[in-house]
Structure 1
Amino acid sequence: MDQLLTYYKAHGPVALSDVPAVLRNLTWKDFDPSSNCEWTGKVFGQLYRWGNNGVGMLGMSTYLMAEFARATAPVSLANVTGVQIADWDAYVYQTTNITLYYLGYAIMPAECKQECCRNLKWEGNPDLAGIGVYAAYIIQATLTAFFFLVCAYIDVRAYCRWLWVVWRWEREHKTQPKRSEIFQILKDKYPPNPRTASLRARFDRCLNAFWISSFYFALCTFIAAITITVAENTEANTALYSSFGAQFSGAVIGSLWPWYRNKSQRYHLVTFCLWLMVLSMAVVFVTFKVALYVPGDDDRPSYIFEANCLSNVELETFSDILTLVVWIMCLILAFTVLVLGILTVWRAYSRRGPRRHLFLHMRWFVSLFSFGVLWYSFVSFVQVRSTMASFVDEDYYTENEWGFGQILAVVAWLPMFVEFFRVWACTLTNTSYLGKNLYDANPMLCLLQGMRWRQHLCPGFGNSFSFERPIQAARADCPQRCKIRRLYV
């Protein structure tokens, strides 16, 4: 069938006598789009797929408009041809200036929203929510949960042992025990196990590798999110995905930060990096809230999809989530300032006394809060992604396709898994531990480190290892093939 633009140019003005009698008293306002969602969706997609500039209307075929009119008319149009319906449309435009194009938003009833949105042929946002990025988030969430639960178990177990010794001593002696006495009891009751120490050392090295990889990944995510949100006229879905990605990446770092250890690591350096990442999160969320209310360009298909399928309806569903995102960001900033301030004052003016327990409490607050934010961000990301995917035609949807960027997002984590394999494939002689003066060190930091040792063990030790045994004597017990290397943390 001819397009309407071609038809109007060929026929010119239309007289009332050219309009069928059944249509003379009708306009497009009298039609009911909700009576047939299939044809309503097709017409809506044609009108707005190319933007609100009239191209969709003029490019529509007379067949499509005729079928839509027959399906939604208040009277039967079985005996009316498509040419007659086109004449009627031209006549209505001449007399009332009302066309199907000007009723575009009106022909998207709630009952037909699914069909209308699918016919917009929106491609999705594969750069921010593609299957590769989604898989990378799943990898991070899974590994973070694993490391967090293991570290939490080790710390809680060590702290419970400490509390049990204190409680038992107070019950028997009616006095507060000294730290040296607590250390001696713990040393006698829970002697170090070389095999457990070996597993813990390798576990720590894997955690360090994952934390460093997540740190660089989060830094890149922040830079990309800020750039795409600030430098461009960002659509709502792009800003939404950017904010959730930045929030998720930062939460991964915060969840495992208290257990990250490196031989040259200093807490103030890592805390400074963490603080920079929190500031980056603030910039992302502020710009996201601003971008959400910036009017978009009507000629962009992505904006048409948002305006008709997300902003007016679906983003209202997520209004509580968006508000909660902002409040979480404010809480993170306030809490981080408080923690950094207290930690700085404590480390500067106090090196002993019961205030050492503050560090234990603060690290748990940071870790638990970040762990909650991590899963909240991940679940919200999945919810938004699945909701948007339900309004997209699968033939045009690209978020579930494996492209170059999607494969790269997953392969980028391959070096981390190679490091995991290298750590666990090493022999026991290549494993290092914390020092032998375990119970002479800072008590709370020893507990926070999960009761680790700074000794090099070898298979010849067996059960003969003790804290008092000097490393020179221990070396004599080792087989000739066992070489004890230099100490390092």
Structure 2
Amino acid sequence: MEPQNCIALSNRTDFTAYVDLLRNLTNGDFSLVKVCKKDVCEALWGFGNPDISGVGMVIGYLLESGICAFLVMISLWLERTAKGHGHNAVRLLLANAARTFFDNAIFFTFAIQAASIVTLSRVDFGINAEGMGGFTMEIAWLVSSLTLLPLLPMLLRPDMFKEGRSAGVVVRRLSHQNTARMNDEDKKAEDSAHGLSGALFEAREGQRFLLFVICWAMGFCPFFSRMGGTFGESRIGDAPNATITLTEWKTVESICFQGIHTLTSNEHNLITAFGILSYLLLSVVIISKIISSALENRGSERNWLTICHNKLSETCSSYYARLGIEVVVAIASAVQFWAFFRLRQLQSDMTQVVGGNFSDGQWTFGQIVATVVFMPVAAELMFVWRRRLLYLENQ
């Protein structure tokens, strides 16, 4: 294979067409890939995509999960400790931080899901795979669920979004929903949350749930792409309709990953299992509550979205059951973050071995936006803390 042929191998659209081109240029001798290893390896596995896994995007993913974990732990602490006047200030900060964070996080998640749909669809339908090698696709699958998972514990804790005494009312409502109704005093306290009527506050809850459902529905496209890539008919192997034999593929891999410790089968299975588990967990919780809420709402004039959200919030009325889901979310997020950095490092090592440039180390316009997207949370906390007396006087 002549070096001038490398330009033709630097980009690919359809995998089968690319392998056929590679076979023609090498006359079936895939060991000649080493002549154009930079172009071939980067086309097949990618050389990074700053808009998906760049430094700024990584910071955005970590901030979303980290801030969410911190807010949930504060809510958990407030739920387990004795009520007191000092807790009102903490609840005030928590409620305002939770509302601001959720608004930012849900649209950050929406943007990630929309971008994942566009980029993955172009590859899956053979339109254009430029900048979307094998590792980049797997990372896109990961970030789709990584941005959805942190929002589930927040929707399971409606008390996070209420201030002062009314937050305790929500906890009592969840704990005793099957044994008693709220008394008139509790209802008045709940209605006074953040100066909003109970109906308006429930409408806000419904809005949060609706936005989450939209993001979850959009996440089905990356999930479907993952399922197709994992369980679909492989084009690598010794089957009659395979595009490239396993021996030929191993030859290409040995050139691209010379001296690199690649993923083991156990690591690959772990990544796949937790990726699928994450979306199925979200789906089971959401779908079951939508169905049960729709059935309960028959003949009722209440907005079904509000009931859906209430049902989602009441999924774990017991403390330990709700904590169990939060632990599963934490474990799934930790495994997927490990997978994210593992794949990113593999891509970086491969790019270095073949003499390419790893683009994820570059700062781009979108990465800067992802870095500062959660700054309003800090701004809101500083404002509320400085003006806390104005809030506490009205409670």
- Same fold at TM > 0.5: yes
The equivalent of 1:51 in structure 2 is: 9
Paired AA for residue 265 in structure 1: F
Secondary structure at the counterpart of residue 361 of structure 2: coil
Once the two structures are TM-superposed, the CA of residue 105 in structure 1 deviates from its matched residue by 3.5
Once the two structures are superposed, the pairs formed by residues 1-400 of structure 1 within 5 Å of their partners are 50-51=8-9, 102-105=28-31, 123-157=47-81, 192-193=84-85, 195-232=86-123, 233=126, 234=129, 235=132, 236-259=134-157, 260-261=160-161, 263=196, 264-266=200-202, 267-290=205-228, 308=253, 309=256, 314=263, 317-342=267-292, 359-361=316-318, 363-364=322-323, 366-393=325-352, 396-400=357-361
Once the two structures are TM-superposed, the CA of residue 319 in structure 1 deviates from its matched residue by 4.0
Residues 64-123 of structure 1, C-alpha deviations (whole Å, 9 max, x = no match): xxxxxxxxxxxxxxxxxxxxxxxxxxxxxxxxxx99764334777xxxx99x96999963
Q: Name which one, 1 or 2, has greater alpha-carbon Rg.
A: 1
Once the two structures are TM-superposed, the CA of residue 148 in structure 1 deviates from its matched residue by 1.7
Q: Please give the alpha-carbon distance, in whole angstroms, between the structure 2 residues aligned to 1:357 and 1:335.
A: 11
The equivalent of 1:87 in structure 2 is: none
Secondary structure at the counterpart of residue 9 of structure 2: coil
Q: Please give the alpha-carbon distance, in whole angstroms, between the structure 1 residues aligned to 2:115 and 2:10.
A: 30
Q: Does the C-alpha gap of structure 1 residues 155 and 52 become closer, same or farther in structure 2, counting only changes over 3 Å?
A: closer
Residues 29-58 of structure 1, C-alpha deviations (whole Å, 9 max, x = no match): xxxxxxxxxxxxxx9xx97675299xxxxx
The equivalent of 1:187 in structure 2 is: none
Secondary structure at the counterpart of residue 318 of structure 1: helix
The equivalent of 1:416 in structure 2 is: 377
Q: Please give the alpha-carbon distance, in whole angstroms, between the structure 2 residues aligned to 1:101 and 1:396.
A: 29
The equivalent of 2:180 in structure 1 is: none
Paired AA for residue 111 in structure 2: C
Secondary structure at the counterpart of residue 155 of structure 2: helix
Deviates more, 1:234-243 or 1:340-349: 340-349
Q: Please give the alpha-carbon distance, in whole angstroms, between the structure 2 residues aligned to 1:404 and 1:199.
A: 36
Q: Please give the alpha-carbon distance, in whole angstroms, between the structure 1 residues aligned to 2:206 and 2:362.
A: 43
Q: Please give the alpha-carbon distance, in whole angstroms, between the structure 2 residues aligned to 1:147 and 1:221.
A: 22
Task: Confirm whether residue 401 of structure 1 aligns to residue 339 of structure 2.
Answer: no
Q: Which residue, out of 386, 389, 393, partners 1:429? A: 389
Q: CA RMSD in A?
A: 4.3
Q: Does the C-alpha gap of structure 1 residues 199 and 319 become closer, same or farther in structure 2, counting only changes over 3 Å?
A: closer
Q: Does the C-alpha gap of structure 1 residues 344 and 430 become closer, same or farther in structure 2, counting only changes over 3 Å?
A: farther
The higher-RCO structure (CA 8 Å, 6+ apart) is 2
The equivalent of 2:168 in structure 1 is: none
Percent identity, aligned pairs only, is 14
Residues 358-401 of structure 1, C-alpha deviations (whole Å, 9 max, x = no match): 65236545544433333332222122112221212286111012
Q: Please give the alpha-carbon distance, in whole angstroms, between the structure 1 residues aligned to 2:206 and 2:325.
A: 15
Given the two structures, how large is their TM-score scaled by the length of structure 2? 0.61
Q: Does the C-alpha gap of structure 1 residues 240 and 99 become closer, same or farther in structure 2, counting only changes over 3 Å?
A: closer
Q: Please give the alpha-carbon distance, in whole angstroms, between the structure 2 residues aligned to 1:240 and 1:376.
A: 14
Structure 2 gap ranges (5+):
12-23, 163-195, 237-242, 244-248, 301-306, 308-312
Q: Please give the alpha-carbon distance, in whole angstroms, between the structure 1 residues aligned to 2:369 and 2:235.
A: 33
Q: Please give the alpha-carbon distance, in whole angstroms, between the structure 2 residues aligned to 1:148 and 1:416.
A: 15
Paired AA for residue 286 in structure 1: F
Once the two structures are TM-superposed, the CA of residue 243 in structure 1 deviates from its matched residue by 1.5
Higher helix proportion (structure 1 or 2): 2
The answer to whether the 8 A contact 2:106-2:212 is kept is no
Residues 204-260 of structure 1, C-alpha deviations (whole Å, 9 max, x = no match): 211211111111111111111112112444543333122211101111111222334
The equivalent of 2:20 in structure 1 is: none
Q: Does the C-alpha gap of structure 1 residues 370 and 346 become closer, same or farther in structure 2, counting only changes over 3 Å?
A: farther
Given the two structures, how large is their TM-score scaled by the length of structure 1? 0.51
Q: Does the C-alpha gap of structure 1 residues 322 and 338 become closer, same or farther in structure 2, counting only changes over 3 Å?
A: same
Q: Please give the alpha-carbon distance, in whole angstroms, between the structure 2 residues aligned to 1:118 and 1:340.
A: 44
